[in-house]
Chains A and B, each alone.
Chain A
């Protein structure tokens, strides 16, 4: 398995507050990683470094064969897509136009090429958003918006998909639908998926590697079964919790005791 990211002693501070305090890891191509941890632990900061959004970090981050810090936004956008927690669009762009924006890093000319339209259509088919194409993005429901944003990210034809709490505003059905799509992309296209989430049970069900971040460091890293132990949960989240096997056998789930 070749590495998508090689991270060595990554440190990052917002003004003077240190957020990431020395992270070293390797994320292989085709992995499905969930990043968990308490608020302010540095999960989103870590993800934003990988996305090329925070460039003033210390340490070394390699993306494939390249030094991430030296890659242009366009080079990176051709291979890495990012799905934020929520997306607010100020002008009346249609959902279809939002999806087509994902083609921007690949577009050679001024107008949308047939390949661009094809890529956007395929992404909308996959996320079940084709029917929304002509609707104004800002008038869609939270769940519809997030699927359209995912479609836009997929239109980028990325090797790596980074997601920052993508399902936090979705209802249960849409949360599962969303992760079902991610699972398909991971299994069928070997897309590398790194998702930051607070929903530990959802993460445990879909991800095959789980990283727990606390105080800017990796507190645990391994399979969800290995990471989700009462001992870890106490250390990371300061909660007492029981861990059970899911009835369908697909991993574990946790029940916090209050």
Chain B
């Protein structure tokens, strides 16, 4: 079932860069004619590729959190990682760190550090002995989510008008800041994480029937949960650092795919990456063209497209969801 997903992914990646306000033709792009070549290579292609990395990573992170929390409604936002990331970014904006260091915006570095610190904080609060109980993980995540939310409001309140605008822009989330450097920086990390996750994916399956069940099938549950938790958090943190929080992808893509191709993590993880990528590229293409030349935040589109679709699925396949 991964084959058709890959095909769809390739089609969408191949078509999306050609869609936009300014018409470009492939003859002119191939000939390197200005401005078609620049529009394709500098503006659209990196954005589509980065959209693929973000959508794919958020969807896979969703799969992981749902698996270890044994809850199909968990997503990268549930455990506070996105909020921690936003707090890092908001703090950097407030402190006026609008510089680029070694090709990376310092705001993105701060966002990633925020995500990583939140990840560790939630982990150490939730851990009891060697175990990482779903219940305490969820409580720790939700609590810290509120704490960071309050801190964001505080910093936001203390900042001036220009900073405030920049913060709101960041927290709306969007792919417009992506360039080839962002893609080159995140792609190897995401690729490695994905390979590692496919490797451990068979062991995620028996968790669905409970932790004792998985243990008696030979799974080292504590270790599996810790690895999955860190992998999902780092994937979310790495892409969110550059695009801000984008909701709904991590929730709807895994959920929908479970209904269509089944819940086996061996296929679900690669398929979620591919369809997460497709979903976000399509949403972003809509975000930048629907009201062109004005762009709307892609998070608005993911929710507006995803929500009704999700409700239809919920109605049609009721009872197969849990």
Contacts and interface: CB of A to CB of B under 8 A. Distances in A.
Interface stretch (B84-92, B135-143, B200-208, B230-238): B200-208
A89 B209 contact: yes
Contact of A104 (B203, B319, B322): B203
A169 B320 CA distance: 22
Nearest to A74: B218
A70 B137 CA distance: 28
Given A91-B258, A93-B263, A107-B202, A72 B209 contact: no
A74 B203 CA distance: 11
Nearest to B265: A91
Contacts of B70: 90
Contacts of A80: 216
A94 interface: yes
B217 interface: yes
Interface string A99-118: 00110110100110000000
A104 B264 CA distance: 13
Given A104-B206, A138-B322, A92 B258 contact: yes
Nearest to A80: B216
Contact of B216 (A53, A89, A93, A97): A53
B220 interface: yes
A97 B264 contact: yes
Contact of B263 (A48, A51, A92, A107): A92
A73 B215 contact: yes
A245 interface: no
A53 B208 contact: no
A97 B266 contact: no
Interface string A123-141: 0000000000000101100
Contacts of B258: 91-92
A105 B319 CA distance: 31
A139 B72 CA distance: 17
Contact of B72 (A77, A81, A90): A90
Interface residues of B, number: 29
Interface in B227-262: 258-259, 262
A76 B202 CA distance: 18
Interface in B57-104: 70-72
B259 A105 contact: no
Contacts of B208: 89-91, 93
B19 interface: no
Contacts of A97: 205, 262-264
B216 A51 contact: yes
A90 B221 CA distance: 17
B218 A88 contact: no
Q: Which of A52, A73, A76 has the most CB of B within 10 A?
A: A73
Interface in A43-102: 48, 51-53, 72-78, 80-82, 84, 87-94, 97-98, 101-102
A90 B71 contact: yes
A48 B262 CA distance: 31
A156 B322 CA distance: 26
A92 B203 contact: no
B218 A101 contact: no
A94 B205 CA distance: 12
Contacts of B220: 72-74
A33 B206 CA distance: 27
A90 B266 contact: no
Contact of B209 (A48, A51, A101, A110): A101
Contacts of B12: none
B266 A93 contact: no
A105 B218 contact: yes
Given A72-B220, A82-B216, A101-B217, A87 B206 contact: no
Given A92-B320, A94-B262, A97-B205, 8 more contacts: A51-B212, A72-B218, A72-B220, A87-B210, A102-B217, A104-B217, A104-B218, A105-B218
30 contacts: A51-B216, A52-B215, A52-B216, A53-B212, A72-B218, A74-B218, A76-B216, A76-B218, A77-B215, A81-B216, A84-B210, A84-B212, A90-B70, A90-B71, A90-B208, A92-B259, A92-B262, A92-B321, A93-B205, A93-B263, A98-B209, A101-B205, A102-B217, A104-B202, A104-B206, A104-B217, A104-B219, A110-B266, A138-B322, A139-B319
Closest 4 CB pairs of A and B: A77-B218, A105-B218, A74-B218, A91-B263
